[in-house]
Chain A
Amino acid sequence: MSKVFIALQTNDDTRPIIESILADNPHAVPVESPAMIKIDAEGHLTVKRESISELIGRDFDLQELHTHLISLSGHIDESDDEFTLHWND
Protein backbone atom coordinates (compact mmCIF):
# COMPACT_ATOMS: atom_id res chain seq x y z
CA MET A 1 0.00 0.00 0.00
CA SER A 2 1.39 3.42 -0.93
CA LYS A 3 1.46 6.35 1.45
CA VAL A 4 -0.55 9.51 1.03
CA PHE A 5 0.46 12.68 2.81
CA ILE A 6 -0.69 16.14 3.68
CA ALA A 7 1.74 18.90 4.66
CA LEU A 8 0.60 21.93 6.62
CA GLN A 9 2.22 25.06 7.96
CA THR A 10 2.56 25.00 11.69
CA ASN A 11 0.80 27.94 13.30
CA ASP A 12 -2.00 28.65 15.70
CA ASP A 13 -4.71 28.04 13.10
CA THR A 14 -3.39 24.63 12.11
CA ARG A 15 -2.81 23.29 15.63
CA PRO A 16 -6.40 22.03 15.99
CA ILE A 17 -6.44 20.81 12.38
CA ILE A 18 -3.34 18.72 12.95
CA GLU A 19 -4.66 17.46 16.26
CA SER A 20 -7.94 16.32 14.75
CA ILE A 21 -6.31 14.71 11.70
CA LEU A 22 -4.07 12.67 13.99
CA ALA A 23 -7.02 11.71 16.18
CA ASP A 24 -9.21 10.69 13.23
CA ASN A 25 -6.44 8.77 11.50
CA PRO A 26 -4.71 6.61 14.10
CA HIS A 27 -2.48 5.11 11.40
CA ALA A 28 -1.09 8.53 10.44
CA VAL A 29 2.51 9.48 11.24
CA PRO A 30 3.53 13.11 11.78
CA VAL A 31 6.94 14.23 10.55
CA GLU A 32 8.00 17.68 11.72
CA SER A 33 10.29 20.08 9.88
CA PRO A 34 11.04 23.76 10.42
CA ALA A 35 7.77 25.71 10.10
CA MET A 36 5.82 22.74 8.78
CA ILE A 37 4.49 19.29 9.47
CA LYS A 38 4.03 16.44 7.02
CA ILE A 39 1.49 13.80 7.95
CA ASP A 40 2.03 10.45 6.22
CA ALA A 41 -0.57 7.71 6.16
CA GLU A 42 -0.73 4.29 4.54
CA GLY A 43 -3.39 4.14 1.84
CA HIS A 44 -5.71 6.95 2.89
CA LEU A 45 -6.21 9.91 5.17
CA THR A 46 -9.39 11.79 6.04
CA VAL A 47 -9.86 15.31 7.32
CA LYS A 48 -13.24 15.70 9.05
CA ARG A 49 -15.04 19.01 9.30
CA GLU A 50 -16.95 17.92 12.39
CA SER A 51 -13.84 17.07 14.40
CA ILE A 52 -12.13 20.34 13.65
CA SER A 53 -15.31 22.32 14.35
CA GLU A 54 -15.55 20.66 17.73
CA LEU A 55 -11.98 21.54 18.62
CA ILE A 56 -12.21 25.16 17.58
CA GLY A 57 -15.73 25.73 18.86
CA ARG A 58 -17.05 27.17 15.62
CA ASP A 59 -18.14 25.86 12.26
CA PHE A 60 -15.09 25.00 10.15
CA ASP A 61 -15.33 25.11 6.37
CA LEU A 62 -13.06 22.49 4.80
CA GLN A 63 -12.07 24.99 2.14
CA GLU A 64 -10.27 26.88 4.92
CA LEU A 65 -7.69 24.10 4.70
CA HIS A 66 -6.37 25.69 1.53
CA THR A 67 -5.04 28.66 3.48
CA HIS A 68 -2.57 26.51 5.39
CA LEU A 69 -1.92 23.64 3.05
CA ILE A 70 1.63 23.19 1.77
CA SER A 71 1.31 20.02 -0.21
CA LEU A 72 -0.43 16.70 -0.50
CA SER A 73 -0.40 13.49 -2.47
CA GLY A 74 -3.06 11.04 -3.56
CA HIS A 75 -6.45 11.39 -5.17
CA ILE A 76 -8.83 13.80 -3.49
CA ASP A 77 -12.43 13.12 -2.57
CA GLU A 78 -14.11 16.24 -1.29
CA SER A 79 -17.55 16.71 0.19
CA ASP A 80 -18.93 19.35 2.53
CA ASP A 81 -18.00 17.15 5.51
CA GLU A 82 -14.87 15.25 4.57
CA PHE A 83 -11.67 15.73 2.64
CA THR A 84 -10.07 12.39 1.82
CA LEU A 85 -6.77 11.47 0.20
CA HIS A 86 -6.29 7.97 -1.15
CA TRP A 87 -4.46 5.81 -3.68
CA ASN A 88 -6.28 3.27 -5.81
CA ASP A 89 -3.65 0.56 -5.85
Chain B
Amino acid sequence: MDMQVPKKKLGLKERYTLMTRDLAWDTTYQPKEKVYPYADYEGIKIHDWDKWEDPFRLTMDAYWKYQAEKERKLYAIIDAYSQSNGHLGVTDARYLNAIKIFLTAVTPLEHMAHRGFAHVGRAFPGAGARVACQMQAIDEMRHAQTQIHSLSNYNKYYNGFHDAPHMYDRVWYLSVPKSFFDDAITAGPFEFIVSVGFSFEYVLTNLLFVPFVSGAAYNGDMGTMTFGFSAQSDEARHMTLGLECIKFILEQDPANLPIVQRWIDKWCWRGVRLLSIVAMMMDYMLPKRVMSWKEAWEIYFEENGGALFKDLARYGIKMPACAEQIRQEKDHLSHQVWSAFYNYSGATDFHTWMPTEEEMQWLSQKYPDTFDKYYRPRFEFWREQQEKGNRFYNKTLPMLCQTCQIPMAFTEPGDPTKICYRERSYKGNKYHFCSDHCRHIFDNEPEKYVQAWLPVHQIYQGNCFPEGTDPTAPGFDPLAAVLEYYRINVGHDNGEFEGSEDHRNFEAWRGMAKRND
Protein backbone atom coordinates (compact mmCIF):
# COMPACT_ATOMS: atom_id res chain seq x y z
CA MET B 1 0.00 0.00 0.00
CA ASP B 2 1.25 3.44 -0.88
CA MET B 3 1.44 4.53 2.78
CA GLN B 4 4.56 2.44 3.18
CA VAL B 5 6.55 4.22 0.52
CA PRO B 6 8.79 6.77 2.26
CA LYS B 7 7.60 10.24 1.34
CA LYS B 8 9.81 12.57 -0.57
CA LYS B 9 10.25 15.78 1.39
CA LEU B 10 8.77 18.59 -0.64
CA GLY B 11 10.87 21.71 -1.20
CA LEU B 12 9.60 25.12 -0.08
CA LYS B 13 8.60 26.08 -3.59
CA GLU B 14 6.84 22.84 -4.52
CA ARG B 15 4.99 22.73 -1.25
CA TYR B 16 3.90 26.34 -1.60
CA THR B 17 2.58 25.64 -5.09
CA LEU B 18 0.36 22.88 -3.69
CA MET B 19 -0.78 25.25 -0.97
CA THR B 20 -1.80 28.00 -3.35
CA ARG B 21 -2.05 27.81 -7.12
CA ASP B 22 -2.80 24.09 -7.19
CA LEU B 23 -6.04 24.96 -5.42
CA ALA B 24 -7.26 26.76 -8.53
CA TRP B 25 -8.80 25.28 -11.64
CA ASP B 26 -10.05 26.52 -15.00
CA THR B 27 -13.78 27.02 -14.66
CA THR B 28 -16.02 25.37 -17.22
CA TYR B 29 -19.54 26.13 -16.00
CA GLN B 30 -18.76 29.82 -16.18
CA PRO B 31 -16.57 31.38 -18.84
CA LYS B 32 -13.28 32.88 -17.81
CA GLU B 33 -14.34 36.34 -19.02
CA LYS B 34 -17.22 36.34 -16.57
CA VAL B 35 -15.20 34.99 -13.66
CA TYR B 36 -12.40 37.53 -14.25
CA PRO B 37 -14.20 40.42 -15.95
CA TYR B 38 -11.51 43.03 -15.22
CA ALA B 39 -8.50 41.16 -16.57
CA ASP B 40 -8.31 42.38 -20.14
CA TYR B 41 -9.54 45.91 -20.60
CA GLU B 42 -6.29 47.68 -19.81
CA GLY B 43 -4.59 46.11 -22.79
CA ILE B 44 -2.03 44.18 -20.72
CA LYS B 45 -1.36 40.84 -22.34
CA ILE B 46 -0.72 37.86 -20.05
CA HIS B 47 -0.10 34.58 -21.82
CA ASP B 48 0.83 32.33 -18.97
CA TRP B 49 0.02 33.01 -15.34
CA ASP B 50 2.01 29.88 -14.41
CA LYS B 51 5.16 31.89 -15.02
CA TRP B 52 4.30 34.00 -11.97
CA GLU B 53 7.08 33.71 -9.39
CA ASP B 54 5.74 33.88 -5.87
CA PRO B 55 7.44 36.87 -4.27
CA PHE B 56 7.33 35.24 -0.83
CA ARG B 57 6.12 31.89 0.31
CA LEU B 58 4.12 32.28 3.43
CA THR B 59 1.31 29.84 4.11
CA MET B 60 -1.46 30.99 6.40
CA ASP B 61 -0.21 28.97 9.37
CA ALA B 62 3.19 30.66 9.25
CA TYR B 63 1.54 33.99 8.50
CA TRP B 64 -0.57 33.80 11.65
CA LYS B 65 2.35 32.67 13.74
CA TYR B 66 4.65 35.54 12.81
CA GLN B 67 1.98 38.20 12.59
CA ALA B 68 0.59 37.22 15.99
CA GLU B 69 4.05 37.58 17.46
CA LYS B 70 4.37 41.04 15.97
CA GLU B 71 0.92 42.03 17.18
CA ARG B 72 1.62 40.85 20.72
CA LYS B 73 4.79 42.93 20.88
CA LEU B 74 3.17 45.95 19.31
CA TYR B 75 0.15 46.09 21.59
CA ALA B 76 2.28 45.45 24.67
CA ILE B 77 4.31 48.53 23.80
CA ILE B 78 1.23 50.61 22.99
CA ASP B 79 -0.31 49.67 26.34
CA ALA B 80 2.85 50.41 28.29
CA TYR B 81 3.35 53.69 26.44
CA SER B 82 -0.20 54.86 27.20
CA GLN B 83 -0.20 53.70 30.80
CA SER B 84 2.98 55.59 31.57
CA ASN B 85 1.87 58.86 29.90
CA GLY B 86 4.51 58.25 27.28
CA HIS B 87 3.24 61.21 25.29
CA LEU B 88 4.86 63.55 27.82
CA GLY B 89 8.21 62.09 26.87
CA VAL B 90 8.21 63.38 23.29
CA THR B 91 10.73 66.11 22.61
CA ASP B 92 8.20 68.87 22.20
CA ALA B 93 4.46 69.09 21.48
CA ARG B 94 5.14 70.57 18.03
CA TYR B 95 6.14 67.08 17.02
CA LEU B 96 2.61 65.76 17.57
CA ASN B 97 1.37 67.77 14.62
CA ALA B 98 3.30 65.54 12.26
CA ILE B 99 1.53 62.57 13.79
CA LYS B 100 -1.85 64.23 13.28
CA ILE B 101 -1.05 64.41 9.57
CA PHE B 102 -0.11 60.76 9.71
CA LEU B 103 -3.51 59.84 11.11
CA THR B 104 -5.55 61.99 8.73
CA ALA B 105 -3.53 61.56 5.55
CA VAL B 106 -1.79 58.17 5.77
CA THR B 107 -4.06 55.92 7.84
CA PRO B 108 -7.06 56.31 5.51
CA LEU B 109 -4.78 55.32 2.63
CA GLU B 110 -3.94 52.10 4.45
CA HIS B 111 -7.64 51.31 4.54
CA MET B 112 -7.95 52.15 0.85
CA ALA B 113 -5.02 49.86 0.10
CA HIS B 114 -6.82 47.14 2.06
CA ARG B 115 -9.88 47.43 -0.15
CA GLY B 116 -7.84 47.87 -3.30
CA PHE B 117 -5.85 44.72 -2.67
CA ALA B 118 -9.07 42.82 -1.91
CA HIS B 119 -10.24 43.97 -5.35
CA VAL B 120 -7.12 42.89 -7.25
CA GLY B 121 -6.88 39.84 -4.99
CA ARG B 122 -10.13 38.81 -6.59
CA ALA B 123 -9.64 40.27 -10.07
CA PHE B 124 -6.36 38.73 -11.25
CA PRO B 125 -6.84 35.44 -13.12
CA GLY B 126 -3.52 34.16 -11.73
CA ALA B 127 -3.91 32.25 -8.46
CA GLY B 128 -0.41 32.99 -7.15
CA ALA B 129 -0.86 36.70 -7.70
CA ARG B 130 -4.28 36.66 -6.07
CA VAL B 131 -2.99 35.06 -2.86
CA ALA B 132 -0.12 37.53 -2.58
CA CYS B 133 -2.52 40.44 -3.07
CA GLN B 134 -5.00 39.10 -0.52
CA MET B 135 -2.28 38.79 2.05
CA GLN B 136 -1.39 42.39 1.41
CA ALA B 137 -5.09 43.27 1.79
CA ILE B 138 -5.12 42.07 5.40
CA ASP B 139 -1.70 43.56 6.12
CA GLU B 140 -2.99 46.95 5.03
CA MET B 141 -5.92 46.62 7.40
CA ARG B 142 -3.40 45.84 10.09
CA HIS B 143 -1.55 49.06 9.32
CA ALA B 144 -4.69 51.18 9.41
CA GLN B 145 -5.71 49.71 12.74
CA THR B 146 -2.33 49.70 14.47
CA GLN B 147 -2.03 53.38 13.56
CA ILE B 148 -5.51 54.17 14.87
CA HIS B 149 -4.80 52.24 18.06
CA SER B 150 -1.34 53.69 18.63
CA LEU B 151 -2.58 57.24 18.17
CA SER B 152 -5.75 56.76 20.17
CA ASN B 153 -4.01 57.81 23.37
CA TYR B 154 -2.73 61.04 21.80
CA ASN B 155 -6.28 61.81 20.78
CA LYS B 156 -7.31 61.75 24.42
CA TYR B 157 -4.98 64.59 25.31
CA TYR B 158 -4.32 66.61 22.17
CA ASN B 159 -6.46 68.36 19.58
CA GLY B 160 -6.79 67.57 15.90
CA PHE B 161 -6.67 63.79 16.12
CA HIS B 162 -10.40 63.43 16.62
CA ASP B 163 -12.04 62.96 13.23
CA ALA B 164 -9.67 61.46 10.69
CA PRO B 165 -12.15 59.53 8.50
CA HIS B 166 -14.58 62.45 8.35
CA MET B 167 -11.80 64.86 7.45
CA TYR B 168 -10.31 62.56 4.84
CA ASP B 169 -13.52 62.89 2.82
CA ARG B 170 -13.70 66.65 3.16
CA VAL B 171 -10.72 68.76 4.30
CA TRP B 172 -8.95 70.63 1.52
CA TYR B 173 -5.41 69.30 1.94
CA LEU B 174 -6.62 65.74 2.36
CA SER B 175 -8.00 65.73 -1.17
CA VAL B 176 -4.35 65.29 -2.16
CA PRO B 177 -3.93 61.80 -0.65
CA LYS B 178 -7.56 60.95 -1.31
CA SER B 179 -7.42 61.76 -5.01
CA PHE B 180 -4.13 59.88 -5.25
CA PHE B 181 -5.67 56.67 -3.98
CA ASP B 182 -9.01 57.20 -5.70
CA ASP B 183 -7.01 57.46 -8.91
CA ALA B 184 -5.25 54.16 -8.22
CA ILE B 185 -8.28 52.18 -7.11
CA THR B 186 -10.44 53.37 -9.99
CA ALA B 187 -7.81 52.23 -12.47
CA GLY B 188 -7.72 48.65 -13.71
CA PRO B 189 -6.11 45.94 -11.59
CA PHE B 190 -2.78 46.03 -13.42
CA GLU B 191 -2.42 49.77 -13.13
CA PHE B 192 -3.39 49.53 -9.46
CA ILE B 193 -0.64 47.06 -8.71
CA VAL B 194 1.93 49.09 -10.62
CA SER B 195 0.84 52.29 -8.91
CA VAL B 196 0.64 51.06 -5.35
CA GLY B 197 2.70 47.90 -5.36
CA PHE B 198 5.51 49.22 -7.40
CA SER B 199 5.81 52.98 -7.69
CA PHE B 200 4.48 53.69 -4.23
CA GLU B 201 5.59 50.77 -2.08
CA TYR B 202 8.88 50.06 -3.74
CA VAL B 203 10.10 53.47 -4.70
CA LEU B 204 8.49 55.80 -2.22
CA THR B 205 7.18 54.43 1.11
CA ASN B 206 10.67 53.87 2.40
CA LEU B 207 10.87 57.62 2.76
CA LEU B 208 7.90 57.74 5.06
CA PHE B 209 8.42 54.62 7.08
CA VAL B 210 12.16 54.47 7.44
CA PRO B 211 13.77 57.89 8.02
CA PHE B 212 10.58 59.53 9.31
CA VAL B 213 9.82 56.72 11.73
CA SER B 214 13.42 56.60 12.87
CA GLY B 215 12.90 60.31 13.48
CA ALA B 216 9.85 59.51 15.58
CA ALA B 217 12.02 57.22 17.71
CA TYR B 218 14.58 59.99 18.01
CA ASN B 219 11.84 62.30 19.27
CA GLY B 220 10.73 59.89 21.95
CA ASP B 221 7.57 58.68 20.24
CA MET B 222 7.63 54.97 21.01
CA GLY B 223 4.09 54.50 19.74
CA THR B 224 4.80 55.71 16.24
CA MET B 225 8.15 54.02 16.13
CA THR B 226 6.55 50.74 17.03
CA PHE B 227 3.67 50.77 14.57
CA GLY B 228 5.89 52.29 11.92
CA PHE B 229 8.61 49.68 12.02
CA SER B 230 6.12 46.91 12.64
CA ALA B 231 4.14 47.94 9.56
CA GLN B 232 7.31 48.25 7.58
CA SER B 233 8.17 44.63 8.32
CA ASP B 234 5.13 43.78 6.17
CA GLU B 235 6.16 46.33 3.58
CA ALA B 236 9.20 44.26 2.73
CA ARG B 237 6.76 41.63 1.45
CA HIS B 238 4.72 44.25 -0.34
CA MET B 239 7.71 45.76 -2.06
CA THR B 240 8.73 42.34 -3.25
CA LEU B 241 5.24 41.78 -4.60
CA GLY B 242 5.36 45.10 -6.46
CA LEU B 243 8.68 44.27 -8.03
CA GLU B 244 7.59 40.77 -8.99
CA CYS B 245 4.44 42.12 -10.64
CA ILE B 246 6.32 44.51 -12.81
CA LYS B 247 8.83 41.88 -13.90
CA PHE B 248 6.06 39.41 -14.61
CA ILE B 249 4.02 41.84 -16.72
CA LEU B 250 7.07 42.90 -18.70
CA GLU B 251 8.22 39.34 -19.33
CA GLN B 252 4.82 38.28 -20.60
CA ASP B 253 4.62 40.40 -23.73
CA PRO B 254 6.69 43.18 -25.30
CA ALA B 255 3.48 45.10 -26.02
CA ASN B 256 3.10 45.64 -22.27
CA LEU B 257 6.21 47.82 -22.08
CA PRO B 258 4.80 51.16 -23.30
CA ILE B 259 1.73 50.79 -21.10
CA VAL B 260 3.80 49.98 -18.03
CA GLN B 261 6.26 52.78 -18.77
CA ARG B 262 3.37 55.26 -18.93
CA TRP B 263 2.09 54.02 -15.58
CA ILE B 264 5.53 54.20 -13.99
CA ASP B 265 5.97 57.75 -15.24
CA LYS B 266 2.55 58.73 -14.00
CA TRP B 267 2.74 57.09 -10.59
CA CYS B 268 6.26 58.14 -9.89
CA TRP B 269 5.17 61.75 -10.30
CA ARG B 270 1.87 61.29 -8.44
CA GLY B 271 3.86 59.71 -5.60
CA VAL B 272 6.46 62.46 -5.54
CA ARG B 273 3.76 65.10 -5.28
CA LEU B 274 2.01 63.17 -2.51
CA LEU B 275 5.26 62.77 -0.58
CA SER B 276 5.91 66.50 -0.62
CA ILE B 277 3.99 66.58 2.66
CA VAL B 278 6.44 64.07 4.14
CA ALA B 279 9.25 66.37 3.05
CA MET B 280 7.90 69.11 5.28
CA MET B 281 7.18 66.68 8.13
CA MET B 282 10.83 65.66 8.12
CA ASP B 283 12.43 69.07 7.76
CA TYR B 284 10.05 71.18 9.81
CA MET B 285 8.02 69.05 12.18
CA LEU B 286 10.61 66.85 13.90
CA PRO B 287 12.18 68.86 16.71
CA LYS B 288 15.18 66.50 16.60
CA ARG B 289 16.18 65.55 13.11
CA VAL B 290 17.85 62.36 11.91
CA MET B 291 18.50 63.54 8.38
CA SER B 292 17.11 66.13 6.01
CA TRP B 293 14.48 65.34 3.42
CA LYS B 294 17.08 65.92 0.75
CA GLU B 295 19.45 63.39 2.28
CA ALA B 296 16.69 60.83 2.70
CA TRP B 297 15.65 61.45 -0.89
CA GLU B 298 19.16 60.85 -2.12
CA ILE B 299 19.43 57.55 -0.27
CA TYR B 300 16.00 56.10 -0.86
CA PHE B 301 14.97 57.57 -4.19
CA GLU B 302 18.12 58.40 -6.08
CA GLU B 303 20.33 55.57 -4.90
CA ASN B 304 17.77 52.86 -4.25
CA GLY B 305 15.25 53.82 -6.93
CA GLY B 306 18.15 54.36 -9.30
CA ALA B 307 19.40 50.81 -8.71
CA LEU B 308 15.95 49.51 -9.45
CA PHE B 309 15.62 51.38 -12.73
CA LYS B 310 19.07 50.24 -13.76
CA ASP B 311 17.94 46.70 -13.09
CA LEU B 312 14.73 47.12 -15.10
CA ALA B 313 16.61 48.58 -18.05
CA ARG B 314 16.96 45.09 -19.50
CA TYR B 315 13.20 45.11 -20.09
CA GLY B 316 13.42 48.50 -21.78
CA ILE B 317 12.10 50.46 -18.79
CA LYS B 318 13.56 53.95 -18.58
CA MET B 319 13.92 56.28 -15.63
CA PRO B 320 10.70 58.36 -15.55
CA ALA B 321 10.81 61.60 -17.51
CA CYS B 322 10.06 63.58 -14.37
CA ALA B 323 13.33 62.50 -12.70
CA GLU B 324 15.18 65.67 -13.66
CA GLN B 325 12.54 67.98 -12.24
CA ILE B 326 12.42 65.83 -9.12
CA ARG B 327 16.16 66.23 -8.73
CA GLN B 328 15.89 70.01 -8.89
CA GLU B 329 12.93 70.18 -6.53
CA LYS B 330 14.59 68.36 -3.65
CA ASP B 331 16.25 71.60 -2.58
CA HIS B 332 12.93 73.44 -2.46
CA LEU B 333 10.12 71.04 -1.78
CA SER B 334 9.94 71.01 2.02
CA HIS B 335 10.25 74.80 2.28
CA GLN B 336 7.56 75.48 -0.29
CA VAL B 337 5.13 73.04 1.23
CA TRP B 338 5.73 74.29 4.77
CA SER B 339 5.06 77.82 3.48
CA ALA B 340 1.79 76.66 1.98
CA PHE B 341 0.60 75.09 5.21
CA TYR B 342 1.74 78.14 7.18
CA ASN B 343 -0.39 80.25 4.81
CA TYR B 344 -3.50 78.15 5.32
CA SER B 345 -2.95 77.08 8.91
CA GLY B 346 -6.35 78.54 9.76
CA ALA B 347 -8.02 75.70 7.90
CA THR B 348 -6.06 72.65 9.07
CA ASP B 349 -6.53 70.28 11.97
CA PHE B 350 -2.90 70.77 13.00
CA HIS B 351 -0.71 73.69 13.99
CA THR B 352 2.17 75.33 12.18
CA TRP B 353 4.95 77.60 13.37
CA MET B 354 8.14 79.26 12.26
CA PRO B 355 11.40 77.45 12.92
CA THR B 356 13.67 78.79 15.66
CA GLU B 357 16.95 80.46 14.75
CA GLU B 358 18.79 77.27 15.62
CA GLU B 359 16.51 75.29 13.33
CA MET B 360 17.01 77.79 10.54
CA GLN B 361 20.74 77.33 10.89
CA TRP B 362 20.26 73.61 10.46
CA LEU B 363 18.15 74.25 7.34
CA SER B 364 20.80 76.63 5.96
CA GLN B 365 23.42 73.99 6.48
CA LYS B 366 21.35 71.21 4.91
CA TYR B 367 20.15 73.40 2.02
CA PRO B 368 23.14 75.71 1.43
CA ASP B 369 22.12 76.70 -2.10
CA THR B 370 18.53 77.59 -1.44
CA PHE B 371 17.43 78.16 2.13
CA ASP B 372 19.13 81.45 2.94
CA LYS B 373 18.51 82.89 -0.49
CA TYR B 374 14.85 82.08 -1.04
CA TYR B 375 13.22 81.03 2.20
CA ARG B 376 14.96 82.49 5.23
CA PRO B 377 13.93 86.09 4.52
CA ARG B 378 10.29 85.05 4.23
CA PHE B 379 10.43 82.98 7.41
CA GLU B 380 12.21 85.67 9.42
CA PHE B 381 9.62 88.20 8.32
CA TRP B 382 6.81 85.88 9.37
CA ARG B 383 8.46 85.25 12.69
CA GLU B 384 8.89 88.94 13.38
CA GLN B 385 5.28 89.62 12.50
CA GLN B 386 4.09 86.80 14.70
CA GLU B 387 6.11 88.12 17.61
CA LYS B 388 4.41 91.46 17.06
CA GLY B 389 1.02 89.78 17.26
CA ASN B 390 0.45 89.99 13.50
CA ARG B 391 0.74 86.31 12.57
CA PHE B 392 0.26 85.78 8.84
CA TYR B 393 -2.76 83.84 7.62
CA ASN B 394 -3.73 83.68 3.99
CA LYS B 395 -7.49 84.12 4.05
CA THR B 396 -8.20 83.71 0.35
CA LEU B 397 -8.52 80.22 -1.04
CA PRO B 398 -5.65 79.06 -3.24
CA MET B 399 -5.62 77.90 -6.85
CA LEU B 400 -5.21 74.13 -7.03
CA CYS B 401 -3.64 71.80 -9.56
CA GLN B 402 -6.32 69.79 -11.34
CA THR B 403 -4.29 66.59 -11.08
CA CYS B 404 -2.39 66.49 -7.77
CA GLN B 405 -4.78 68.99 -6.12
CA ILE B 406 -1.96 70.68 -4.20
CA PRO B 407 -2.11 74.48 -4.08
CA MET B 408 -0.09 75.83 -7.00
CA ALA B 409 2.89 76.53 -4.76
CA PHE B 410 5.62 74.89 -6.81
CA THR B 411 8.00 77.01 -8.82
CA GLU B 412 9.21 76.82 -12.40
CA PRO B 413 11.94 74.28 -12.98
CA GLY B 414 15.10 76.37 -13.00
CA ASP B 415 13.49 79.49 -11.50
CA PRO B 416 12.55 79.24 -7.83
CA THR B 417 11.15 82.78 -7.88
CA LYS B 418 8.23 82.10 -10.24
CA ILE B 419 5.17 79.94 -9.72
CA CYS B 420 4.86 77.29 -12.39
CA TYR B 421 1.59 77.76 -14.29
CA ARG B 422 0.35 75.29 -16.89
CA GLU B 423 -3.08 75.10 -18.43
CA ARG B 424 -5.12 73.10 -20.89
CA SER B 425 -8.53 73.55 -22.53
CA TYR B 426 -10.61 70.45 -22.88
CA LYS B 427 -14.17 70.35 -24.28
CA GLY B 428 -14.58 74.07 -23.71
CA ASN B 429 -13.32 74.17 -20.12
CA LYS B 430 -9.99 75.35 -18.74
CA TYR B 431 -7.86 73.25 -16.43
CA HIS B 432 -4.73 74.31 -14.55
CA PHE B 433 -1.68 72.38 -13.44
CA CYS B 434 1.33 72.79 -11.19
CA SER B 435 3.73 71.18 -13.63
CA ASP B 436 4.23 69.69 -17.07
CA HIS B 437 3.94 66.25 -15.53
CA CYS B 438 0.57 66.85 -13.90
CA ARG B 439 -0.67 68.29 -17.18
CA HIS B 440 0.67 65.30 -19.05
CA ILE B 441 -1.19 62.93 -16.73
CA PHE B 442 -4.38 64.89 -17.41
CA ASP B 443 -3.78 64.83 -21.17
CA ASN B 444 -3.54 61.05 -21.12
CA GLU B 445 -6.92 60.60 -19.42
CA PRO B 446 -8.88 63.84 -19.43
CA GLU B 447 -12.22 62.11 -18.91
CA LYS B 448 -10.92 60.92 -15.58
CA TYR B 449 -9.39 64.11 -14.22
CA VAL B 450 -12.23 66.46 -15.19
CA GLN B 451 -14.17 64.71 -12.40
CA ALA B 452 -11.75 65.83 -9.68
CA TRP B 453 -13.47 67.04 -6.50
CA LEU B 454 -11.36 70.15 -5.99
CA PRO B 455 -11.99 71.44 -2.46
CA VAL B 456 -11.67 75.12 -3.33
CA HIS B 457 -14.15 74.88 -6.16
CA GLN B 458 -16.51 72.81 -4.07
CA ILE B 459 -16.47 75.48 -1.37
CA TYR B 460 -17.36 78.14 -3.92
CA GLN B 461 -20.15 75.94 -5.26
CA GLY B 462 -21.62 75.91 -1.75
CA ASN B 463 -21.09 72.18 -1.25
CA CYS B 464 -18.97 72.40 1.88
CA PHE B 465 -21.31 73.72 4.54
CA PRO B 466 -22.95 71.63 7.25
CA GLU B 467 -26.30 70.21 6.24
CA GLY B 468 -29.09 72.72 6.69
CA THR B 469 -26.85 75.80 6.39
CA ASP B 470 -28.49 78.87 4.90
CA PRO B 471 -25.79 80.86 3.11
CA THR B 472 -28.24 83.73 2.55
CA ALA B 473 -28.86 84.22 6.28
CA PRO B 474 -27.68 87.56 7.65
CA GLY B 475 -24.17 87.47 9.06
CA PHE B 476 -23.36 84.15 7.37
CA ASP B 477 -19.65 83.43 7.72
CA PRO B 478 -18.63 81.04 4.93
CA LEU B 479 -15.19 80.22 6.32
CA ALA B 480 -16.63 79.34 9.73
CA ALA B 481 -19.25 77.18 8.04
CA VAL B 482 -16.60 75.35 6.04
CA LEU B 483 -14.54 74.65 9.17
CA GLU B 484 -17.65 73.38 10.87
CA TYR B 485 -18.29 71.09 7.89
CA TYR B 486 -14.70 69.87 8.29
CA ARG B 487 -15.25 69.38 12.05
CA ILE B 488 -12.20 71.51 12.73
CA ASN B 489 -12.64 73.16 16.12
CA VAL B 490 -11.59 76.73 15.57
CA GLY B 491 -9.13 78.00 18.15
CA HIS B 492 -8.32 74.50 19.32
CA ASP B 493 -7.23 72.43 16.35
CA ASN B 494 -5.99 75.04 13.91
CA GLY B 495 -3.61 77.96 13.53
CA GLU B 496 -0.38 78.93 15.21
CA PHE B 497 1.30 76.46 17.54
CA GLU B 498 2.80 79.06 19.87
CA GLY B 499 0.28 79.61 22.63
CA SER B 500 -2.08 76.94 21.36
CA GLU B 501 -4.00 74.71 23.75
CA ASP B 502 -1.72 71.78 22.87
CA HIS B 503 1.32 73.92 23.56
CA ARG B 504 0.05 75.18 26.90
CA ASN B 505 -1.21 71.80 28.07
CA PHE B 506 1.97 70.00 27.19
CA GLU B 507 4.07 72.55 29.04
CA ALA B 508 1.81 72.41 32.08
CA TRP B 509 1.66 68.62 32.19
CA ARG B 510 5.34 68.24 31.73
CA GLY B 511 5.85 70.83 34.44
CA MET B 512 3.76 68.69 36.77
CA ALA B 513 5.94 65.72 35.97
CA LYS B 514 9.01 67.59 37.13
CA ARG B 515 7.50 68.65 40.43
CA ASN B 516 6.39 66.70 43.43
CA ASP B 517 3.09 68.41 44.23
Contact = CB atoms under 8 A, between A and B. Distances in A.
Direct touching of A and B (C-beta under 8 Å):
yes
B62 A7 contact: no
B217 A34 contact: yes
Contacts of B237: 66
B12 A78 contact: yes
Given A34-B290, A35-B217, A70 B211 contact: no
A88 B314 contact: yes
A42 to B, nearest CB: 10
A40 B225 CA distance: 22
Interface stretch (B300-308, B341-349, B457-465, B470-478): B300-308
A87 B290 contact: no
Given A70-B229, A71-B232, A63 B214 contact: no
Nearest to B57: A78
Given A2-B306, A87-B307, A70 B232 contact: yes
Given A2-B306, A34-B290, A66-B66, A71 B236 contact: yes
Interface string A52-89: 00000000000110111111111110111000000111
B240 interface: yes
A36 B12 contact: no
B233 A68 contact: yes
Given A35-B225, A78-B57, A88-B314, A73 B233 contact: no
Contacts of A71: 206, 209-210, 232, 235-236, 239
Contacts of B11: 80
Interface in B96-125: none
Interface residues of A, number: 30
A33 B228 CA distance: 15
B490 interface: no
A71 B343 CA distance: 35
A35 B214 contact: yes
Nearest to A87: B311
A45 B441 CA distance: 38
B236 A69 contact: yes
A76 B55 contact: yes
B366 interface: no
Contacts of A9: 229
Contacts of A64: 66
B218 interface: yes
A65 B59 CA distance: 16
B311 A88 contact: yes
Given A67-B233, A79-B12, A87 B206 contact: no
Interface string A25-62: 00000000111101000000000000000000000000
A76 B233 CA distance: 15
A66 B225 contact: no
A72 B232 CA distance: 10
Contact of B66 (A3, A67, A80, A87): A67
Contact of B218 (A5, A34, A79, A89): A34
B66 A36 contact: no
Interface in B186-229: 206, 209-211, 214-215, 217-218, 225, 229
Given A66-B66, A67-B66, A70-B209, 9 more contacts: A5-B304, A35-B214, A69-B232, A71-B210, A71-B235, A73-B304, A80-B11, A87-B310, A88-B314
8 contacts: A3-B304, A34-B215, A34-B218, A66-B237, A70-B233, A73-B304, A87-B310, A89-B314
